[in-house]
Structure 1
Amino acid sequence: MTTPECSTVPWRKSTYSDGGGCVEVALATVPGTDGVERDTIRLVRDSKNPELGVLRLTARSWAALINGIKNH
């Protein structure tokens, strides 16, 4: 799934990946739930297969993901 915010954002990949398979992350601003305010979401995709789709995370979901990874 490619959405407009996915094609125009700068994607970042860890410098520790050493060119190997890794995830890429990006920030995107989208209309808020009320249609007026704007929300920032985190986008995550497979660096080797970006066409397979994008995971969209709210700030709260992103924090939970990172905390889960650190505590695993």
Structure 2
Amino acid sequence: MRYFFHIFDGSELHPDDVGSNLPNLESAKRMAQVVADELKKGGQFSQSSLVIVADADDKILFECEAS
């Protein structure tokens, strides 16, 4: 299944127009956590970033913040 990892930086949404093929929702959750944690390391701009995971129909499946 294709999952899209959109990034919300606190004021603007940065859409993922490509997405990633992953085997299941659990894999998408792990990927979203990795992305969120890496964004947090990126400095002041990304400190408030939120990863929003959607399916191919643009249905939001869940949101993830850095741990």
State the TM bucket, normalised to the shorter chain.
0.3 to 0.5
Task: Give TM-score scaled by structure 1 length.
Answer: 0.35
Which structure exhibits the higher relative contact order, with contacts defined as CA atoms closer than 8 Å and separated by 6 or more residues? Answer: 2
Q: Larger Cα Rg: Structure 1 or Structure 2? A: 1
Task: Give TM-score scaled by structure 2 length.
Answer: 0.37
